A and B are shown apart, each in its own frame.
Chain A
Amino acid sequence: MSFLAPLFLLGAAAVALPVIFHLIRRTTREHTPFSSLMFLFPTPPRLTKRSRLEHFLLLALRCLVLCLLALGFARPFFKTEANLPPPSKARRLILLVDQSASMRRANLWSDARDRVRAIVRQTTPADQVAVLLFDRQLTPLVSFDQWNSAPASERAALIEAKLAQTGPGWASTRLDAALIQAAETMADAGGKSVGASGEIVLISDLQEGSRLERLQGYEWPRQVRLRVEALKLKHTSNASIQPVDEAPGGNPSTEGIRVRVSNTSDSKLEQFKVGWAAPDRPGFAGAPLDVYVPPGQSRVLSVPLIPGQPMLNRVLLHGDEDDFDNVAFTLPLEQTRLQVLYLGNDSAVDPKQPLYFLKRSLQETSRQVVELHAPPLTAPLATADIHSASLIVVTDPLSEESAQALRAQVLAGKTCLCLAKNESISGTLAKLVGVGQFPTSEARLMKYAMLGEIDFRNSIFAPFADPRFSDFTKIHFWKYRRLEVDSIPQARVLAKFDSGDPAVVEIPVGAGRILVLASGWQPEDSQLALSTKFVPLVYSILESSGAPLAVPTLYHVGDTVPLGVEAGEGARWTVTSPAGNQEPIPAGQTNYSNTLAPGIYGLTSGQTSRRFAVNLEATESRTTPFAVEEFERLGVPLASQASALPATEKGKSRLQNSELENRQKLWRWIILFAVGVVLAETWLAGRAARTAGSFAVASNSGSGGAS
């Protein structure tokens, strides 16, 4: 029999204690009242010739308990050939390496590579290793298959070579998604069937800006453990800068741009400088501002524009120890100008007419200006007016010439919105659509009609697809015209009334389209203009007509940027990265997602061009490391340090013994047996005490009677 902790056997020497206590025991706890103790002194416990060992069984039981306890704590195990564990099982390791923006600090990335190198060196040929890089998303570097297919002697070099080609990026840290994907990869790789233990080794700086929320609801696989190799820096003072909002466009503001300066909680620095970056040299373009930000707090301040230098778009922060997040990119917002042509006999000041409501829904904002042009119908319609308009709204019948001119523009790609205020519009509709007749009739309603069926997949109603906004039943229609669109095969009904009659119809005409509303939005016809859905509906129609609405210019690294409708047929978008590289966008692609680095990006399509700024996510600047115990709190079991393979033979032998003992667990049976012995001793001692007590009473009363 061998022992894992043989020093505890020395505790068996305590077996002498019960012997001593047994000899000097006081056999009774009974009390004898006596008149006065003034002539008596207490009798100390003494060992004399008359002391003798009684109750041998009781003494033996007490000694046995002590011996069993010493034996149990010594953790015995049997070390026979049959019991020797099989050679170390193959392990399955996933090295999860952080390559987020925070890893750009100091020597973190080189430390991470060193850790990977050390772990790979400790693996055995039977082990399987995969290396995954993660920041905002997970990127496999070396898979299990690649590892297994490579010769054992070349595996480390393979990983080293792959790592040398990579480096930390600029994205934020989605640690929860990375761990979940790694755990699923491990589980899917069949860890159970191979009999190997699975371990994910996380190599990261554990900055507290890392996302961990998804781990709360995730059920971690049982056979997978997480080992954390935390990367630490000596210096911990980091401050960051982010733009708060977009610079006002149009009129230059003397207030400047607002930025937020944040200081980490473990920072030892508090004084910083903020200012515009010079375009052609390092440093500030003008006098920087002094900012005081205590550790763990942030400050918002306004950086005034420098007169004569309106093109500055970088704000610098100086004064901390890590500069990866010390630049904020910002662009002035470009205000777009749109024109809407209104063809009708309405008065703009008449609240009973559609023009009144349309004009008030198209308000000027900091991002756009929509000009509503309503020429009299008596004058001939100028082609230039139609051409410059992004949307043409027709509410009254047009002359033949105007209808034809309008149709020509629609065929060229314009969108025309026809409001069927009355049946007289049918003739104009027929001319615009290019059919002989476009029958319309006044519908008869009991009380009112509602929109009953809406196609939310269409771009006009797509903004209302969310269940919070998709309820149109509160909008009542008092009147509408029944549109006979069955004879027009290309017509698409986008919305129907509850009676089944078409409410909104889209008719493609050439490159453009005709949108027909069966009812007016003025109060006489419906409650549409008075509802909260009217303005977004108008803007939705305006946007779907190809009008270049205001586009945001501030994004974060990794965000997807919408491109918008390409300007002109045949034109394609081209993206210019901050480094100056031009990347053509394939046709049909409406988004750009290669925002991998912070800076100013350019979008060009024909004559249309715009820019947008990409910055680091603010969470990546929260570089204070969080506690490893946070993983356990989220239900991710951590692997003990002992799971790492020992480097020396002695360590391997100790580990082997530990595994043997852990499997046999003899100490449990020993402790159980000791508990049984204690119970027996307690019962026997009670019986002996009762016997001794009754004998003492009998002898004392006998001695009293004899005197």
Chain B
Amino acid sequence: MNPSALSASRVADFLRRAIAPAKRAVPGSGETTPSAGKPGPAVSSASLRLTGTGFVDPQALMSIRNLELRARVVVEGFWTGIHRSPFHGFSAEFTEYRQYTAGDDPRYLDWRVFARSDRYFIKKFEDETNLRCYLLADTSKSMTYSSTGYSKREYAATLAATLAYFLYLQGDAVGLLTFDEQTRDYLPARHRTGHLRNLMLALDKPSAGQGTTVGAPFKRLAEIVRKRSLVVAISDFLAPLDRFTSDLTTLAACGHELVVFQVMDPAELNFEFEQPTVFQDLESGRSLFIDPRFARKEYQRRLELHCAALRTACQRLGVAFHQLSTKQPLELALFDFLRKRMQRRRHILRASSARGSPAPSA
């Protein structure tokens, strides 16, 4: 399914169908209770230009200077697309009890509740209520490229802010690590007052470095974060991939759930230049005289090979890979993110139920 071709209503329908089977697969789970996280203030979508599909036009979205506000607009827009129904986060399901009835598996009796109330209750499958998520944001010079009026950096920052805001609303702890040719800023995963603000400020910082190293931040994060977390990497990954696989493997081996977003500019993807000109590398400063008419084909071939290698490396490690064009509405990116996570969790739950063991925490 190509999310970019979907309208908002169809996305909402899909989500409802997607969410329900995942919940039935969880043993001992009951009806879900409303999420403790409250939805943010509703942002009037009328104030924003919507695309033909009903999503916020990225051009208009980027005109909002405040990063946090942008994130809210995306999240609100996402929720609006699913008929304003409160949406309980995928990552957390609240603990719920029901009385024991004959036939229930006595292994799920909650003995603590029995000790307190002297009554038998079946403990609902307890998900991890405090998900830790780390956002790895690329702040190198190559991310400052723009052919659409806003740069990849702004798009990636908005995407990271959106995810952070969304997860924060769910009550999850969100951390940040920015990198270029080296690690820049690091914020540990927290869910405290003011932490989201700090995160937004870190995302808004201008680029300091020049080059890009795609594997080192993974390795660095693996050294810092000991507990299992969700790691979302957002970059253009326009750098040699020689150490990418090994560093990604290191992080995956620590038990983290990995999601990779490759953000590309339409001009990078299609190379639709016409006039011969001197192209200058934003990171190295190197210049080359290129006639696009003769260089396009080879460029696209090599770019496709690079992206395929990236995708293959992610697939081998079970890392969710998403390639985004900066022309795409961010709601779709968020949708992709959530859908993939759901698919993964469904897979995990099926596997655990087949073994007859509690599903591991996501």
B238 within 8 A of A: yes
Per-residue B-contact encoding for A26-50, CB less than 8 Å = 1, 0 else = 1111111111111111110000000
Flag whether A699 is at the interface (Cβ < 8 A).
yes
Report B106 CB to chain A, min CB distance, Å.
Answer: 60
Q: How many A-B residue pairs have CB under 8 A?
A: 109
Q: Taking A30-B277, A31-B280 as contacts, is the C-beta distance between A43 and B294 under 8 angstroms?
A: yes
Q: Are A704 and B266 in contact (CB under 8 A)?
A: yes
Complex: A696 Cα to B152 Cα, angstroms: 23
Query: Counting CB contacts under 8 A, is A700 at the interface?
Result: yes
What is the CB-to-nearest-CB distance from A677 to chain B, in angstroms, rounded to a whole number? 28
Q: Is there a chain A Cβ closer than 8 Å to B306's Cβ?
A: yes
Complex partner residue of A706 from B272, B278, B291, CB under 8 angstroms: B272
**A40-B299, A43-B295 known; A35 and B152 CB under 8 Å?**
yes
Judge if B308 is at the interface, Cβ distance under 8 Å: no
Say whether A37 contacts B270, CB under 8 Å. Answer: no
A42 to B291 CA separation, bound complex (whole angstroms) = 8
- A26 CB contacts on chain B under 8 angstroms: 276, 289
Residues in A with CB closer than 8 Å to B145 are 33-35
Contact partner of A28 (CB less than 8 A), chosen from B265, B276, B281, is: B276
Given the complex, which residues of A lie within 8 Å of B48, measured CB to CB?
A: none
B281 touches A31 (CB 8 A): no
B11 proximal to A (CB < 8 A): no
The minimal Cβ–Cβ distance linking B66 to chain A, given in whole angstroms, is: 26
Residues in A neighbouring B331, C-beta threshold 8 A:
none
- Are A33's CB and B148's CB within 8 A? no
Summarize A's interface: helix, strand, loop or mixed.
loop
| Contact partners of B266 in chain A: CB under 8 A | 704, 707
CB-defined interface of B278-294 with A at 8 Å, one 1/0 digit per residue? Answer: 11111110111111001
Question: How many chain B residues touch the partner (CB < 8 A)?
Answer: 43
Would you call B299 and A34 a contact (CB within 8 A)?
no
Contacts of A37 in B (CB 8 A): 279, 281, 284, 286, 288
Does A193 sit within 8 A of B, measured CB to CB?
no
B118 close to A (CB within 8 Å)? no
Q: Does A254 interact with chain B (Cβ within 8 Å)?
A: no
Chain B residues contacting A35 (CB-CB under 8 Å) are 142-143, 145, 152, 236, 238, 265, 268, 281-283
Known: A40-B299, A704-B266. A30 touches B278 (CB 8 A): yes
Would B286 and A31 count as touching, CB distance under 8 A? no
Count residues of A near B (Cβ-Cβ below 8 Å): 27
Does A581 sit within 8 A of B, measured CB to CB?
A: no
Query: For B298, what are the chain A residues with a Cβ–Cβ distance below 8 Å?
Result: 39, 41
| A80 interface hit (Cβ, 8 Å) | no
Asked if B276 and A27 make an inter-chain contact with CB atoms under 8 angstroms apart, the answer reads: yes
Closest residue to B140 on the A side, CB-wise? A35
Looking at the assembled complex, report how far the CB atom of A706 sits from the nearest CB atom of chain B, in whole angstroms: 6
- A40 contacts B290, C-beta separation under 8 Å: yes
Given A38, A42, A695, A703, which contacts B273 in the complex, CB threshold below 8 Å? A703
Closest B-chain residue to A43, C-beta based? B291
Give the residues in chain B near A706, CB-CB below 8 Å: 272
Q: Is B275 interfacial (CB-CB < 8 Å)? A: yes
* Contact status of A31 and B277, CB under 8 A, knowing A41-B295, A703-B272: yes
Query: Given A28-B277, A34-B281, A35-B238, are A704 and B152 also a contact pair (CB < 8 Å)?
Result: no
Which residues in B have their C-beta under 8 angstroms from that of A31?
277-280, 287
Shortest beta-carbon distance, A617 to chain B, in Å?
Answer: 77
| Minimal beta-carbon separation of A346 from chain B (angstroms) | 112
B283 & A36 in contact (Cβ 8 Å cutoff): yes
What CA separation (Å) do A34 and B289 show in the bound complex? 12
0/1 string, B302-328, CB within 8 A of A gives 1: 110010000000000000000000010
CA gap between A32 and B290 in the complex, in Å: 10
Bound: A551/B65 CA distance, A? 117
**Contact code string A3-34 (vs B, CB < 8 Å = 1, else 0):** 00000000000000000000000111111111
CB neighbours of A703 from chain B (8 A): 267, 272-274
Residue of B238, B272, B274, B277 touching A38 (CB-CB under 8 A): B238
What chain B residues lie within 8 Å of A705 (beta carbons)?
Answer: 147-148
Cα–Cα distance between A704 and B266 once the two chains are bound (Å): 7
B253 interface residue (CB < 8 Å to A)? no
Q: Is the CB of A32 within 8 A of B299?
A: no
Given known contacts A35-B152, A704-B267, A707-B272, A42 and B290 CB-to-CB distance under 8 angstroms: yes
When distances are taken between beta carbons in the complex, the residues of chain A under 8 Å from B142 are 35-36
- Taking CB atoms and an 8 Å cut-off, the chain B residues in 218-272 that contact chain A are 236, 238-240, 265-270, 272
Q: Are B270 and A707 in contact (CB under 8 A)?
A: yes
For the complex, what is the distance from the CA of A161 to the CA of B303, rounded to whole Å?
A: 102
Once the chains bind, are A32 and B278 in contact (CB under 8 Å)? yes
Asked if A43 and B238 sit within 8 Å, CB to CB, the answer is: no
Q: Chain B residues near A41 (CB, 8 Å)?
A: 288, 295, 298
Contacts of A43 in B (CB 8 A): 276, 288-291, 294-295
Bound together, the chains give a CA A38 to CA B306 distance in angstroms of: 10
Q: Report the nearest A residue to B240, measured CB to CB.
A: A38
Q: Let me know if B279 and A40 touch, CB within 8 A.
A: yes
Q: Are B238 and A36 neighbours in the complex by a CB distance under 8 Å?
A: yes
B299 and A696 contact, CB distance less than 8 A? no
**In the complex, what distance in Å separates the CA atom of A703 from the CA atom of B270?**
10
The complex places the Cα of A343 from the Cα of B299 at a distance, in Å, of 133
Q: Out of A700, A704, A707, which one reaches B277, CB within 8 Å?
A: A700
Distance A36 CA – B286 CA, assembled complex (angstroms):
9
Which residues of chain B from 15 to 58 have any CB-CB distance to chain A below 8 Å in the complex? none
Which residues in A have their C-beta under 8 angstroms from that of B272? 703-704, 706-707
When C-beta atoms are compared, the residue in chain B nearest to A42 turns out to be B288
Residues of A678-707 at the interface with B, using a CB-CB cut-off of 8 Å, are 695-696, 699-700, 703-707
A32 touches B277 (CB 8 A): yes
A36 partner, pick from B269, B273, B282, B294, beta carbons under 8 A: B282
Flag if A39 contacts B302 (CB, 8 Å): yes
Q: Please tell me if the beta carbons of A42 and B289 are within 8 angstroms of each other in the complex.
A: yes
Give A40 to B282 CA distance when docked, in angstroms: 14
CB distance from A378 to the nearest CB of B (A): 125
Which chain B residues lie closer than 8 Å to A695 at the CB level? 275
Closest to B145 in A: A35
Q: Roughly how many angstroms separate A38 CA and B281 CA in the complex, as a whole number? A: 9
A42 to B269, CA, bound (A): 19
Give the CA-CA distance A707 to B273 in the complex, in Å.
Answer: 10
Task: Give the shortest distance, in Å, between B203 (CB) and chain A (any CB).
Answer: 19
Nearest CB in chain B to that of A34: its residue? B279
Are A700 and B274 within 8 A (Cβ)?
A: yes
Q: A32 touching B273 by the CB < 8 A rule?
A: yes
B147:A704 contact, CB within 8 angstroms: yes
Residues of B within 8 Å of A704, CB to CB, are: 147-148, 266-267, 272
Give A31 Cβ to nearest chain B Cβ, in Å: 5
B residues within 8 A CB of A27? Answer: 275-276
| B-facing residues in A212-242 (Cβ within 8 Å) | none
Residues of A within 8 Å of B239, CB to CB, are 36, 38
What's the nearest-Cβ distance from chain B to residue A423, in Å?
Answer: 117
Q: How far is the CB of B295 from the nearest CB of chain A, in Å?
A: 6
The answer to whether B265 and A39 touch across the interface, beta carbons within 8 angstroms, is no
Decide: A700 near B273, CB < 8 A? Known: A29-B278, A36-B281: yes
* Interface residues in B110-137 (C-beta closer than 8 Å to A): none
Contact (Cβ within 8 A) A39 B282: no
A-B pairs with beta carbons under 8 Å apart, 23 shown: A31-B279, A32-B273, A32-B279, A34-B145, A34-B281, A35-B238, A35-B268, A36-B238, A36-B239, A36-B282, A37-B286, A40-B299, A41-B288, A41-B298, A42-B288, A43-B291, A43-B294, A699-B274, A700-B273, A700-B277, A703-B267, A703-B273, A707-B272
The 10 closest A-B pairs by CB, nearest first: A704-B147, A35-B145, A707-B266, A43-B291, A39-B302, A36-B238, A35-B142, A696-B275, A703-B272, A42-B288
Residues of A within 8 A of B (CB): 26-43, 695-696, 699-700, 703-707
Q: Which residues of B contact A (CB under 8 A)?
A: 142-143, 145, 147-148, 152, 236, 238-240, 265-270, 272-284, 286-291, 294-295, 298-299, 302-303, 306, 327
User: Other CB < 8 Å A-B pairs besides A34-B145, A707-B266, 8 of them?
Assistant: A33-B279, A37-B286, A37-B288, A38-B306, A40-B299, A41-B298, A42-B288, A700-B273
